[in-house]
Amino acid sequence: MAMTGQRQKSKEKSPTAQSTSSSLSSAEDERKDHGRKMSCKTKLCLMVLTVVVIVMGVSKMQQDSRAGSSMNSLRTTAQKEQEDTGEVSAVASRSMTEDSSSTSTSTTSSSTQSTSTSTNTCQWRPEPLQGHCDGTKSTDESKLYTTAQACQTACCESPTCVTFQFRAKEGCLWGADTRVGNEKDGVTAWCEPRPPAVWQGQWIKTKQEGVEIDGGCSDDGWNPQELSGQCFGLGGKQDTGGANTARACRDACCNNPTCKLWQFRRDAGCFYNNHGFNCREAADPLEFEPFIGARKVQPTRSYTPHAYTADYADMAAEMEQKMQ
């Protein structure tokens, strides 16, 4: 009976136990379902977060790319501007250089033109007057000019000056018209076409107390350094019988009863006559410096024969080359 009662009690308790078990099972299911729901939510959140992160990353990369592209564009633009600036600077520099060169050339050209104009408003003969001229002198007016250019310009403007010469020793010299070299037409004044050089020469007849004495034809009286500066008035070149020497020139003079002095220069030849004047002083080294000089063209003259013919034919090629 006791066992039967316990079973009965047990049976009586069974629905409650079953109910409890069922509740527990239901709670577990709810917990699992909640866990699953939470897990889904978590996963969804993670997925959303991941997507957000990815989107943000892509956006950041795009921004960086655009920024990089902008920087590159800025660099390219800056570099191009720098290059353009460099090119502009170079062009400007070249332009300034060319302008400066052009200005310098223009200035030089103007200066040259001014000089040319100031010294060539007159028409000048082409033969340079580099040797002694017996007609050019220092005048009160010519003394005012201290350069060859000023001397020539003033001579050009002067109605009385036809010929000018300039040299450091004498300064500015002016004169009337003159012949040069072998010219025979026109005036009596004459210019040696060759530049100054040392001559050999001597008086072979001299006067002592009014008596003419022969003294230079003997060997004892030989003194070729007596007239080493050029003398004027000796006439044309003389024939020495073929020998181009100072002694041959002396002998030719001595064989001429009217000859009183002779001069010789190897590149010029032998000259003698019964008179001479304006013999240059040979002691001064400046005496052998060449002159700068020219003469105005005179319309009434023919300038014949040409200056560089006959005795001066050897100068023709040299002068022609200088005039080119």
Residue 71 located in a structural domain: no
Same domain flag for 145 and 205:
no
Residue 273 located in a structural domain: yes
Same domain flag for 135 and 282:
no
Q: Is the pLDDT confidence value at 156 over 50?
A: yes
Same domain flag for 209 and 279:
yes
Residue 79 located in a structural domain: no
pLDDT of residue 84: 43
Q: Is the pLDDT confidence value at 73 over 60?
A: no
Q: Summarize pLDDT for 253-279 with one digit per residue, the tens.
A: 999 999 999 999 998 899 999 988 888
Same domain flag for 277 and 297:
no
Same domain flag for 267 and 311:
no
pLDDT of residue 88: 34
Residue 148 located in a structural domain: yes
- Mean pLDDT of the chain, nearest integer: 75
Same domain flag for 264 and 126:
no
Q: Is the pLDDT confidence value at 170 over 80?
A: yes
Write the single-letter amino acid at 7: R
Q: What is the mean pLDDT of residues 57-73?
A: 52
List, as one string, the DSSP characters of 172-231: EEEES--EETT--SS-S-EE-SSPP---EEEESEEEETTEEEE-SSSSTT--TBTT-S--
Same domain flag for 219 and 268:
yes
Same domain flag for 189 and 295:
yes
Phi, psi (deg, nearest 5) at residue 168: -55, -40
Q: Is the pLDDT confidence value at 182 over 80?
A: yes
Tokens describing residue 88? 């502009």
What lies within 8 Å, CB to CB, of 115 at 6+ separation is 149
CA-based nearest residue to 235, from 187, 313, 182: 182
Residue 56 located in a structural domain: no
Q: Is the pLDDT confidence value at 307 over 70?
A: yes
* pLDDT band, very low/low/confident/very high, at 9 (cuts 50, 70, 90): very low
Q: Summarize pLDDT for 187-207 with one digit per residue, the tens.
A: 999 999 999 999 999 998 776
**40 secondary structure, DSSP code:** H
Same domain flag for 208 and 270:
yes
Give the number of domains in the chain. Answer: 2
Same domain flag for 210 and 271:
yes
Same domain flag for 144 and 221:
no
Q: Summarize pLDDT for 25-43 with one digit per residue, the tens.
A: 565 666 665 555 555 555 5
Q: What is the pTM of this model?
A: 0.54
Tokens describing residue 67? 């920024």
Residue 47 located in a structural domain: no
Q: What percent of the chain has pLDDT over 70?
A: 59
Q: Summarize pLDDT for 10-28 with one digit per residue, the tens.
A: 444 444 445 545 555 565 6
Same domain flag for 179 and 143:
yes
Strands 179-180 and 211-214: unpaired
Q: Which domain holds residue 236?
A: 198-286
pLDDT of residue 45: 57
Q: What percent of the chain has pLDDT over 90?
A: 44
Q: Which of 50-59, 138-147, 230-239, 306-315 has the lowest mean pLDDT?
A: 50-59
Burial zone of 104 (CB within 10 Å; 0-12 exposed, 13-18 middle, 19+ buried): exposed
Q: Summarize pLDDT for 94-141 with one digit per residue, the tens.
A: 433 443 343 333 333 333 333 333 446 899 999 999 999 999 999 999
Residue 136 located in a structural domain: yes
pLDDT of residue 32: 60
Rounded CA separation 113/290 (Å) = 26
Residue 57 located in a structural domain: no
* pLDDT band, very low/low/confident/very high, at 2 (cuts 50, 70, 90): very low
Q: Which of 139-148, 223-232, 273-282 has the lowest mean pLDDT?
A: 273-282
